[in-house]
């Protein structure tokens, strides 16, 4: 069995929690740095962050030494949080992993949804509320990974895929909120990713009840028993 086959089997044992690991492995987006029964360490080729899942503290400590402390680490277990805290993170973002595990996509939307281009960068920067990173959004737009929804030919919101494959970057503009447009965008992206032969994966920041409800309505399964935290150094 190859490392890739072993890694896929390792990720499939705990879905949806390890869905991002599975996506990166199957899409070829990650380099396998370590893969064994006691854990796995990947490095996402495009974004450069590490994805770590360890079965015990000894393995976690060993694999964290490989990562150093100058990158982002997606840690899939909480029992070695103290080891990560000692690396002096700038930010920690705990998330619940969501994944669409059905074979059939959700019902198609009749909404006006179009692929965005770099010309839409000012609109994206103006409206997205979680962070402002012009270089990142420009790369996402140039990669064809963002889509906008329109009402009577007016831009009403957008969605996209992050550079490591997760669905996200969702924003609905006022006065178009509470009209179901976010759900339409979510279902559109699920269908698009499924049609490309990939598993739709997303992350819900712990405590974001609105996002949690939206993911469920779209048919995503969410692991509420575990978190996968982004540790940013």
Place of tokens 């059905």: 102
Residue 82, number of CB atoms within 10 A of its CB? 9
Count of alpha carbons within 13 angstroms of residue 217, beta-carbon side: 15
Main-chain phi, psi angles of 131, to 5 degrees:
-160, 165
Main-chain phi, psi angles of 193, to 5 degrees:
-70, -40
Region 15-31 average pLDDT: 94
First CA to last CA distance, the chain: 35
pLDDT in tens, 61-99: 999 999 986 789 999 999 999 999 999 999 999 999 999
Q: Which residue has the higher pLDDT, 133 or 120?
A: 120
pLDDT at 10 over 90: yes
Spatial separation of the C-alpha atoms in residues 226 and 76, rounded to whole Å? 8
Spatial separation of the C-alpha atoms in residues 155 and 149, rounded to whole Å? 6
Place of tokens 């979510």: 186
* All residues at 6 or more sequence positions from 206 whose CB lies less than 8 Å from its CB, including other chains: 94, 95, 96, 227
What per-residue confidence (pLDDT) applies to 67? 92
The answer to whether 12 and 5 have CB atoms below 8 angstroms apart is no
pLDDT in tens, 97-109: 999 999 999 987 7
Torsion of CA 221, 227, 228, 232, to 10 degrees: 140
**Three-state secondary-structure class, residue 64:** helix
15, with CB counted inside 10 A (0-12, 13-18, 19+), is middle
pLDDT at 133 over 90: no
Residues 182-210, buried b or exposed e (16+ Cβ, 10 A)? bbbbbbbbbbbbbeeebbbbbbbeeeeee
What per-residue confidence (pLDDT) applies to 108? 77
Spatial separation of the C-alpha atoms in residues 23 and 55, rounded to whole Å? 20
What per-residue confidence (pLDDT) applies to 148? 97
Phi-psi region of 189 (alpha: psi -120 to 50; beta: other; left: phi over 0): alpha
Region 20-36 average pLDDT: 94
């Amino acid at each position: 069995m190859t490392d890739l086959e072993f890694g896929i089997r390792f990720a499939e044992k705990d879905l949806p929690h390890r869905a991002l690991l599975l996506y990166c492995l199957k899409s070829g987006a990650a380099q396998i740095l370590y893969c064994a029964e006691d854990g796995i360490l990947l490095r996402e080729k495009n974004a450069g962050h590490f994805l770590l899942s360890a079965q015990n503290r000894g393995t976690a400590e060993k694999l964290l030494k490989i990562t150093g402390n100058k990158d982002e680490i997606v840690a899939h277990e909480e029992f070695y949080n103290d080891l990560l805290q000692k690396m002096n993170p700038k930010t920690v973002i705990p998330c619940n992993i969501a994944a669409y595990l059905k074979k059939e996509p959700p019902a198609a939307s009749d909404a006006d949804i179009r692929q965005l281009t770099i010309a839409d960068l000012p609109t994206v920067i103006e409206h997205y509320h979680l962070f402002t990173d012009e270089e990142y959004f420009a790369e996402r737009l140039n990669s064809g990974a963002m889509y906008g929804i329109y009402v009577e030919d007016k831009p009403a919101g957008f969605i996209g895929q992050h550079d490591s494959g997760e669905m996200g970057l969702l924003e609905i503009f006022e006065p178009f909120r509470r009209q179901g447009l976010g759900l339409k965008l979510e279902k559109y992206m699920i269908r698009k990713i499924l049609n490309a032969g990939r598993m739709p994966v997303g992350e819900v920041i712990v405590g974001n009840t609105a996002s949690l409800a939206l993911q469920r309505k779209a048919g995503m399964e969410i692991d509420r028993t575990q978190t996968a935290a982004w540790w940013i150094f």
